[in-house]
Amino acid sequence: MSTATVVSALMAGALALGAASLQAQGDPGRGRQVYERYCEQCHGDRADGAGEVARWSQPRPRDFRGGVYKFSSTPYGFLPTPADLERVIQNGLYGTRMPPFAALSTRERRDAIAYLQTRSPRWRTEGPGKPIAIPAEPAPTREAVTRGRELFEANCTKCHGDGTGNGPSALKGMADDWGAAITPANLLLGRGKWARTARDIYVRAMAGINGTPMPESADVLTPDQVWQVAHYVQALGGWSGSTPELRRFAAELPPPGAGEPASADTVKQ
Amino acid sequence: MTTSRDLLARSALVVAALAGPAVAKADTGPAPAGHASAVPAAGRETAERQRMHAAVRRYVEAHSEIPAFARKYGMKCSACHLAVPVLNQFGQAFKDNGYRMKNGTDDLRANEPAYWPLFGWLWKDYEVDVQRVAGQTVQERGGISNGAFVLGGLGSIGDKVSFRFVPIIYEDGNTIVDHGWIRYNQAFGSDWFNIKVGSTDFDLPINPGREYNMGASRFAVLYAYAVPGSVSRFSVLFPQPGIEIMGHDLGSRNRYSVNLFNTGGAPSAHCVICSPGIFGRVTHRQEFATGFLRAVKAGVFGSYATWPVGPDTSDLKGQRRLGGDVELWMGSDVLPLRATVMGITGRDDRALVTGATQDPKFNAGMLQLEYLPKLPLVFYGRLQVIRNQRQGIVGTPDDFADQDFQLVGVRHALELNSRFAWLLELTYWRWTIKRVAPGGANVTNHTVWLGTHLDF
């Protein structure tokens, strides 16, 4: 048998094996292997969020059995899209024990997601929600920042206080749906667990955070108003896209309560 | 933090548990008069073993302060290691990032309570070696080989600063610092520019410090080869003192590293850079969305080092190494069949070989196959060949000091979690060096090696 024949046979075999394993979607069986290597330590072998190091993690690792995921582009209460889950796996959750798994291949991440979707009965009875519509981002003007603060004070300060997460509800103590104590995000840090940009802030404000007291705003504020809030928050810290000019707008605002009383349009008309 | 006293105590208990039957037998002598045992002797032995195992388990659970390193990162060993200590892609990216996760928790001050990322290794090996010359056995050796204890630290102490310090304390009293460096991460805010200063290892394919066959590096065959008669002790195998600049993209799919160093161990080369050298490597990893072939990683590397041949370092002669490697990940990213092919060519200045009239050259190649059927188990095999292309001394047989090396092994982790790894490994290798025996005969060593490695 010639060398060329052997090489041809090996290549044909490899192609056949390749064709047999074509997977447009993730493979839950392989996903379990990925889970065991990278996830089980925190999320537990039963995907209940009670892994070996969970007790040292704050916030606690997610319990996947209930099919409730905090960060989603879908409306509050709906299952996330696979892209939402992939984003969290790829980027991690900043400031938590959830590291970015950008080094994993796309196939590994999809396999892991496919496996996670076997861990909750919700995935068998419901499909992912439809991502919220995100209108084009308006220019972050001084007026937008000013209006954004009015809306923030009317809707957000109860928990977020002056932006550092020191609102009256936070001071009394807050808990998530799993019974773990949580604190509102410190928006002055310029980066949230999931959010980095004004667009991310928009999504979080509009869709809320599942399993936490952070509500969706879709029923309370218009998209334009949510953008104003997003730009005000962006002006509070070094968020991606935040400019010195934007931060100056916020710095030049009168102290809270010193200006005009919040107008009637602090909620959706 | 796990203290050495805790470790000693824990080790003693583990040993006691392993010796359970013998200890239990000692405890199961005749029952005292008036205390006729209702439990048969065999049952009492079993009960005693269970009691001891339970005691060990309780002790470990009660004293298993999670090591700082694992506590910091909260990951299993297998998250970063394909099989300890070989890195997978996630571990490679973690290392390239200066042992940082880059999710806001890398600063020591971000953790409560604060700690230092320290670790320890303990290894002890058993080795049987048979040496044959011209088909005759000339030497047989066997026994416990020298063990070592490694207590080191590595990690990030802030977002910008990482370090590694690894002293190895051998049982015979020798202590060496394998690595000692400090790294400035993301200079100019870019992952493409990280600066490391100190004694650093080169970014070689299948890094010698991260290979199977724990504590008995057999990659010296390929990396540390010196042409016959060379006075130089330079090898890409050993960490070299100097500066490394390296960079990578997100996920470390594209990487580069450049080392500027002073050749370690060179005589009269105790100045900062008076026997200089340079090493560089670039790699690219390509992943495939479908098919049996999951990823291919390819790289090229090269070095040029100098070595003094005179009474001082004014007369430096060079050594050149060039190589390339291809790594194939097949079947699975997590439990792959991995094949690595590597080739090196080397050329030394003739002045480095006494009596040489031409520059000696050699070529070397390596094929390694690894297969992980399940997480703590790995099978591997390795072939290496070294062929002298041109001898420095005219008249020397062309194949003088050529080498053939074959190795097969299996490794299993008896225990593997974030705080402790206990590895057991069995390896066999055959190593032939041609024509070096009197009369020009080949020398072949057959070795069976059993190693155990404790990591905590």
Residue carrying the six token digits 């962006």: A234
Q: Do A95 and B104 touch (CB under 8 A)?
A: yes
Checking if the pLDDT of B113 tops 60, the result is no
Averaged pLDDT, B384-409? 94
Decide: A186 and A163 in contact? Cβ < 8 Å: yes
Helix (H) or strand (E) holding A27: none
Q: Do A37 and B66 touch (CB under 8 A)?
A: no
* pLDDT band (50, 70, 90) for residue A118: very high
Instruction: State whether residue B411 is helix, strand or coil.
Output: strand
pLDDT at B175 over 70: yes
List residues bridging with B348 in a β-sheet.
B319
Q: Do A103 and B90 touch (CB under 8 A)?
A: yes
- Quickly tell me which residue has 């799993």 as its tokens: A178
Contact yes or no for B418 and A53 at CB 8 A = yes
Question: Does B71 sit within 8 Å of A107, measured CB to CB?
Answer: no
pLDDT band for position B107 (cuts 50, 70, 90): confident
Confidence check: pLDDT of B109 > 90: no
CA dist., res. A156 & res. A173, Å (int): 16
Chain B residues within 8 angstroms (CB to CB) of chain A: 66, 70-71, 73-76, 78-79, 89-90, 92-94, 101-105, 250-252, 287, 289-295, 332-335, 375, 417-418
Q: Please compute the mean of the pLDDT values over residues B243-262 and round it to a whole number.
A: 97
What mean pLDDT is reported for chain B? 80
Selected residue with higher pLDDT from B443 and B110: B443
What average pLDDT does the segment B19-32 reach? 32
Interface check A55 vs B, CB under 8 A = no
- Select the more confidently predicted residue: B271 or A120: A120
Q: Looking at this protein, which amino acid is placed at residue B173? A: G
Of A94, A98, A105, the CB nearest to B294: A105
Higher confidence at residue B456 or residue B438?
A: B438
Contact A72, A57 (CB under 8 A): no
- Say if residue A138 is exposed, middle or buried (CB neighbours under 10 Å; 0-12, 13-18, 19+): middle
CA atoms of B29 and B126, how far apart (whole Å): 34
Q: Each residue of B49-92: pLDDT tens digit?
A: 555 445 444 434 333 344 455 556 778 888 888 887 789 999 99
Contact A37 B375 (CB under 8 A): yes
Within 10 Å of residue B398's Cβ, how many Cβ atoms? 12
Interface residue A196 vs chain B (CB under 8 A): no
Q: Is a pLDDT exceeding 70 seen at residue A117?
A: yes
Q: Does A22 touch chain B (CB under 8 A)?
A: yes
Over 60: is that where the pLDDT of A125 sits? yes
- The predicted structure's pLDDT at residue B283: 98
Question: A168 vs chain B: nearest CA distance in angstroms?
Answer: 26
The confidence score (pLDDT) of residue B358 equals 96
For residue B375, give how far its alpha carbon lies from the nearest alpha carbon of chain A (Å). Answer: 8
β partners of residue B432: B404, B444
- What is the arithmetic mean of pLDDT over B136-148? 85
Partner-chain contact B75 A41, CB within 8 Å? yes
pLDDT band at B319 (very low <50, low <70, confident <90, very high): very high
User: Which chain A residue has its CA at the smallest distance from B296's CA?
Assistant: A105
User: Which of A11, A35, A38, A91 to substitute to test the interface with B, most B CBs within 10 Å?
Assistant: A38
What is the distance in angstroms between the Cα of B301 and the nearest Cα belonging to chain A?
22
Phi, psi (5° rounding) for residue B295?
-160, 155
With an 8 Å Cβ cutoff, are B93 and A102 in contact? yes
Q: Two tokens at B407?
A: 């190795």
Of the listed ranges A56-60, B219-223, B369-373, the one predicted with least confidence: B219-223
Tokens 């019974």, residue located: A179
* Cross-chain CB nearest to A41 (options B76, B90, B105): B76
Amino acid identity at B282: V
Q: Which of A107-121, B164-178, B204-218, B413-427 has the highest mean pLDDT?
A: A107-121
B448 token code pair: 């069976």
pLDDT exceeds 70 at position B245: yes
Residue B437, token pair as written in the block: 């025996």
Tokens 């928006």 locate to: A187
The closest alpha carbon to B299, from B228, B202, B381, B233, belongs to B202
Chain B residue with Cα closest to A31: B334
Q: Which residue of A has its CA nearest to B81?
A: A37
Percent of chain B clearing pLDDT 70 (strictly above): 78
Q: Is B230 helix (H, G, I), strand (E, B) or coil?
A: strand
Burial track A40-77 (b if 16+ CB lie within 10 A, e otherwise): bbbbbeebbbebbbbebbebbbbbbebbbbbbbbbbbe
The pLDDT value recorded for residue B47 is 58
pLDDT at A19 over 70: no
- pLDDT of residue B8 exceeding 60, the answer is no
What confidence category does residue B34 fall into, taking pLDDT thresholds of 50, 70 and 90? Answer: very low
With helix as H, strand as E and coil as C, how does A244-268 read?
HHHHHHHHCCCCCCCCCCCCHHHCC
Nearest residue in A to B75, CA atom: A41
Q: To the nearest whole percent, how much of chain A has pLDDT over 90?
A: 77
Q: Judge if ipTM > 0.85.
A: no
The residues pairing with B153 across neighbouring beta strands, listed in sequence order, are B118, B165
- Residue B5 — very low, low, confident or very high, per pLDDT cuts 50/70/90? very low
| CB contacts < 8 A (A, B) | 105
- B334-380 residue pLDDT tens: 999 999 999 999 999 999 999 999 999 999 999 999 999 988 899 99
Instruction: Give pLDDT tens digits for A169-179.
Output: 999 999 999 99
Q: Is A194 exposed, middle or buried, given 0-12, 13-18 or 19+ CB atoms closer than 10 A?
A: buried
From the list B94, B250, B332, which residue is nearest A30 (CB)? Answer: B332
Query: Half-sphere exposure of residue A33, counting CA atoms within 13 Å on the CB side?
Result: 20
Work out the widest C-alpha separation in chain A, in whole angstroms.
Answer: 91
- Tokens, residue A77: 């209460």
Cβ–Cβ below 8 Å for B105 and A30: no
Look at residue B205 and give its three-state secondary structure. Answer: coil
- Per the model's pLDDT, the better-predicted residue between A251 and A11 turns out to be A251
CB contact under 8 A, A18 and B90: no
Give the residue from B205, B204, B219, B226 showing the smallest Cα distance to B362: B226
B104:A53 CB<8 A = no
| Alpha carbons B158 and B111: distance in angstroms, whole number | 11
Determine how β-strand B361-374 pairs with β-strand B337-348.
Answer: antiparallel
Q: B97: how many CB neighbours lie within 10 A of its CB?
A: 22
Mean pLDDT to the nearest integer, A156-162: 95
Residues in B closer than 8 angstroms to A71, CB to CB, are none
Q: Which residue of B has its CA nearest to A107?
A: B289
Contact, B229 vs B368, CB < 8 A? Answer: no
Q: What confidence tens digit (pLDDT) does each residue in B260-279 have?
A: 999 988 877 667 788 999 99
Burial of A163 (0-12, 13-18, 19+ CB in 10 A): buried
B243 backbone dihedrals φ, ψ, rounded to 5°: -120, 135
For residues A198-211, one letter each, b for 16 or more C-beta atoms within 10 angstroms of the residue's C-beta and e for the rest, the string is bbbbbbbbbbbbbb
Interchain CB contact of A37 with B (< 8 Å): yes
Largest CA distance in chain B: 91
pLDDT at B321: 96
Q: Which chain A residues have a beta carbon less than 8 Å from that of B100?
A: none
What's the rounded Cα separation, in Å, for the pair A206 and A74?
9
Q: How far is CA B392 from the centre of its chain?
A: 32
Mean pLDDT for the stretch of residues B35-47: 44
Subunit contact B90:A106, Cβ cutoff 8 A = no
Q: Which residues in chain A touch residue B76, judged by CB atoms under 8 angstroms apart?
A: 37-38, 40-41
pLDDT tier, B170 (very low <50, low <70, confident <90, very high otherwise): confident
Residue type, B177: V
Cα separation, B364 vs B382, in Å, equals 13
A108 and B333 in contact by Cβ < 8 A? yes
d(CA A100, CA B252): 13
Q: Is A30 on the interface with B (CB under 8 A)?
A: yes
